[in-house]
């Protein structure tokens, strides 16, 4: 069963492993083979992952499938009324299992419960799979474009997407992705 929960420091190694393999697979068409063969490639991914999840004002979530972390995501306050999805990484062997949708759904629920009106995030132009995903879950392009300059000699464009969250109606349940376990009711 797929579950989403807040990440703990004990999840760090599994998150780094997911990040590294997802980065390699997800960006293999965006960067040259030389980029992935660099001696510092894995160390760079470890540092990026650690920097993403171990900072103030971040909400970090992990998705577990059968007790194994298959993905993770980070949301931060973007401005007074919005949150930003800064990272969303799923192990490629688990793409399509619903982990990404479950993580984003949890982020949206938590943001909505604090009065946040919208979520924003950036998606690489050269990642049709990611762009299709965010559009499928109801996010819309804002028209803003920036450069993803992880490696300056291989910069790629990223597009901003957003989702208006609306108000959280406590009298109705929030739709959940199929197969996502909810926490047990509090007695």
Q: Is 98 helix (H, G, I), strand (E, B) or coil?
A: coil
Q: Is 152 helix (H, G, I), strand (E, B) or coil?
A: helix
| pTM: predicted TM-score of the whole model, two decimal places | 0.81
Average pLDDT of 106-118? 90
Count of residues in the chain: 187
Tell me what percent of the residues of the chain surpass a pLDDT of 70. Answer: 82
Weakest mean pLDDT among 62-71, 103-112, 173-182: 173-182
Query: Does residue 179 carry a pLDDT above 70?
Result: no
Query: Does residue 178 carry a pLDDT above 60?
Result: no
Strands (E), 7-106: 58-65, 68-79, 82-90
pLDDT at 180: 52
Q: Is 91 helix (H, G, I), strand (E, B) or coil?
A: coil
Q: Please count the other Cβ atoms lying within 10 Å of the Cβ belonging to residue 61.
A: 22
With residues binned 3-state (H G I as helix, E B as strand, rest as coil), the percentages for the chain, rounded to 5, are 35, 30, 35
63-95 per-position pLDDT tens digit: 999 999 999 999 998 888 889 998 899 999 999
């Amino acid at each position: 069963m797929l579950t989403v929960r807040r990440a703990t420091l004990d999840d760090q190694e599994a998150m780094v492993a997911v990040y590294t393999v997802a980065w390699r697979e997800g960006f293999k068409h965006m960067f040259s083979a030389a980029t992935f063969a660099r001696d510092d490639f894995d160390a760079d991914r470890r540092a990026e992952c650690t920097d993403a999840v171990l900072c103030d004002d971040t909400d970090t979530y992990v998705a577990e499938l059968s007790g194994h972390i298959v993905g993770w995501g980070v949301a931060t306050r973007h401005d007074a009324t919005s949150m930003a999805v800064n990272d969303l990484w799923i192990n490629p062997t688990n793409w399509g299992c619903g982990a990404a949708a479950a993580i984003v759904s949890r982020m949206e629920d938590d943001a909505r419960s604090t009065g946040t009106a919208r979520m924003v995030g950036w998606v690489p132009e050269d990642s049709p799979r990611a762009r299709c995903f965010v559009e499928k879950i109801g996010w819309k392009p804002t028209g803003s474009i920036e450069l993803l300059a992880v490696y300056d000699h291989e910069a790629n464009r990223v597009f901003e997407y957003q989702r208006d969250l609306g108000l959280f109606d406590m009298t109705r349940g929030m739709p959940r992705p199929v197969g996502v376990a909810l926490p047990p009711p509090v007695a």
